[in-house]
Structure 1
Amino acid sequence: IGVQSFDDACLQQLGRVHDAAQAKQAIAAAKQLGFDHINVDLMHGLPGQTPAMAKADLQQAIDLVPDHLSWYQLTLEPNTLFYSQPPELPVEDDLVDIQEAGQTLLQAAGYQQYEISAWCQAASTAGASNEAKHNLNYWRFGDYLGIGAGAHGKVSVMTDGVLQVTRRVKLRQPKAYMQAIQPLASQQIVATQDLPLEFFMNVLRLREGVEEDLLALRTGLNLSDIEVLAKLRKRGLLEPGRLQATELGWRFLNEVLADFEA
């Protein structure tokens, strides 16, 4: 459920058409309808947001006791109003305070962080996990189909012994999508030299990382093809024997990923 914020002023700045009361009603309705798993999508680092405001926002989400929370910082995406007319955002020190305070709140409420921006309650006594299956597939660089106008998909096919990874985007306008026989807006084969960054910018977001053999399975590349791995492990940023960031590596993940762009 895309709440984004429980602060009506923040929601207006974000251009959302709902208010906090409607968001809470939607969550209550989902519970009444019997959905087994409910995710609340919440942003921080919003224009004019102080650490106290962000903490209060997150506490309201926690008080609703969803079994899953996606809590992430606002980013200014191209082709958006905020990108062309950047608002005044919290300074870096405030963003750090928000992140640290939020982690403390979530952990105290019994949530476990399994991905950079994904938190869930512990598994039930029956052993059922509250981690999002879609999230895990995506961050493990798995394939997925995009169905409907504006949908994104990723498909991997073995061709002449070479694994070919293709990203597809459907036409954005519903009318054009329904009229088209092949409603693709774009289709891009991921170049071999781009696969390491594409793969690691996903799997290293996971707290537990992935097994080393997943690299070959998802990209067709071998560990020996990724020379930067040894350097990152020597610097204490990646765990040995597994494709997983250390605590230090997770803290400076953007810097770690920058090494895969070389």
Structure 2
Amino acid sequence: MTAIIPSASMPGVQSPRLGSLPPLSLYIHIPWCMKKCPYCDFNSHEVRGGNVNMPEAEYVTALIRDLETALPQVWGRSVTSVFFGGGTPSLFSARSIDAILTAVRALLPLEHFAEVTLEANPGTFEVKKFADFRAAGINRLSIGIQSFNPRHLQSLGRIHDGSEAHRAIEIARENFDNVNLDLMYALPHQTMEEAQSDIETAAACGVTHISAYHLTLEPNTLFHRYPPPLPDNDLSAEMQIMIEQTLAQGGYLNYETSAFAQPGRESRHNMNYWLFGDYLGIGAGAHSKISFADRIVRQMRYKQPRDYLAKTSPDMTAFDSPIMEQHEVERNDRGFEFMMNALRLTGGFAPEMFMERTGLSIDSIQQQLDEAERRHLITRDYQRIAPTLTGRRFLNDLLQIFLPE
């Protein structure tokens, strides 16, 4: 059973109204991967014994049924971007990806030239397969490189080596003109020279986008249970500064905390997240944020693939649903949730967007804005509110100011 979402029309419930609905993205989660990495806290499940435990055709059918049942929540709204995440979505065949995208186009108005991203790992690259992904409608590829260093790849539990990483990038650039590379830094035993070699190698590949993430020890991961020796805070901070400087020299704009893009190549899908846009998430464990005129709702699908498949089977009763949890974003939480995302953007946001996306006046966080400005964590005028360099370096301290009491 899922929770009942209160409506603003119910007695005693006061909720700010939105003048218009934000852009809508579609997230599609494919939860299987070849091997679970020791740092990964995403909803992903190892494939064992070939494809025996990856019911690809059944899952594609489930995704389409999930999308069909979700339509009343987003009826008439166009989709600005699609993102296949995981897991490792590139484990699926191009035929399956094509079937999913065909259903998306049939059920939802997909904007012309919408950004359609597929996550892939170097160990799953095949020339013909990725050409077929492009033909199916994928126009942006995100490759999980993490490092080019064989020692670090081994410590991270990756299934590819440095040569496979370079080959994957070569295949990607032959088929796609919009390619992102995911890298990580502050890795076990990593030196500054090794971190610099990784980022310089990535920049030399000439891709349109690079994401550089600080390795963190997330709960429910092997690294959290058995922490490896990591660079200290000072060295990690020096690595971050080096990455920003190296990529700036390579013509990349640091438009978000961990994201760097050639001009005009920012991730439209992720920008929608950071600006508190809406997203419908389908697939095992997928999250959604959906706005209505009188409320904002967050949802999560069942995480275990077997549970998700059972809830989306053709025999599903009217009382079943793939949604495991859902709740309304309370008035006091809207401002914090907006700021938690928007203050990751180095360029910040226009003040009027705060009201458009939350239904609240910017005056509702005036005291917090004053405090953040007093501590030199933000800069603001009538056109823009943005984190300062200090605010970006101490983002958690900045966001703490906006936590609801």
Unaligned runs of 5+ in 1: 123-128
The aligned counterpart of 2:393 is 251
Q: Which amino acid aligns with 2:234?
A: D
Aligned to 1:208, the other structure's residue is in SS state coil
C-alpha separation between the residues in 1 aligned to 2:241 and 2:364?
Answer: 36
The aligned counterpart of 2:332 is 193
Cα drift, residue 6 of structure 1 = 1.2
Aligned to 2:203, the other structure's residue is in SS state helix
Q: Which moved more, 1:12-21 or 1:104-113?
A: 12-21
C-alpha separation between the residues in 1 aligned to 2:252 and 2:340?
Answer: 24
Query: TM-score, structure 2 length as denominator?
Result: 0.59
Superposed, 1:1-262 pairs within 5 Å as 1-33=143-175, 35-122=176-263, 129-159=264-294, 164-181=295-312, 182-226=321-365, 227-241=367-381, 242-261=384-403, 262=405
C-alpha separation between the residues in 1 aligned to 2:228 and 2:298?
Answer: 32
C-alpha separation between the residues in 2 aligned to 1:249 and 1:189?
Answer: 30
Cα drift, residue 113 of structure 1 = 0.8
Q: Which amino acid aligns with 2:167?
A: Q
Q: Which moved more, 1:245-254 or 1:223-232?
A: 245-254
Q: Which amino acid aligns with 2:169?
A: I
Aligned to 1:176, the other structure's residue is in SS state helix
C-alpha distance 168-110 of structure 1, shift in aligned 2 (>3 A): same
Q: Deviations over 1:104-151 (max 9, x none)?
A: 2111111111111111113xxxxxx11110121111011111122232
Q: Which moved more, 1:176-185 or 1:104-113?
A: 176-185
Judge conservation of contact 2:217–2:223 (CA < 8 Å) in 1. yes
Q: Which amino acid aligns with 2:281?
A: G
C-alpha separation between the residues in 1 aligned to 2:300 and 2:161?
Answer: 31
Cα drift, residue 184 of structure 1 = 2.1
Judge conservation of contact 2:371–2:401 (CA < 8 Å) in 1. no
Q: Which moved more, 1:242-251 or 1:45-54?
A: 242-251
Q: Which amino acid aligns with 2:290?
A: V
C-alpha separation between the residues in 1 aligned to 2:244 and 2:280?
Answer: 33
C-alpha separation between the residues in 2 aligned to 1:13 and 1:220?
Answer: 46
Q: Deviations over 1:56-94 (max 9, x none)?
A: 111111121111000120112221111222221110111
Structure having greater relative contact order (Cα 8 Å, sep ≥ 6): 2
C-alpha separation between the residues in 2 aligned to 1:151 and 1:258?
Answer: 27
Aligned to 1:144, the other structure's residue is in SS state strand
Unaligned runs of 5+ in 2: 1-142, 313-320
C-alpha separation between the residues in 2 aligned to 1:175 and 1:32?
Answer: 37
Q: Please identify runs of 4+ aligned residues in structure 1 that moved more than 6 A.
A: none
C-alpha separation between the residues in 2 aligned to 1:169 and 1:116?
Answer: 26
RMSD: 1.7
Give the number of the structure whose alpha-carbon radius of gyration is greater. Answer: 2
C-alpha separation between the residues in 2 aligned to 1:77 and 1:197?
Answer: 22
C-alpha separation between the residues in 2 aligned to 1:170 and 1:7?
Answer: 36
User: Percent identity, aligned pairs only?
Assistant: 43
C-alpha distance 17-187 of structure 1, shift in aligned 2 (>3 A): farther
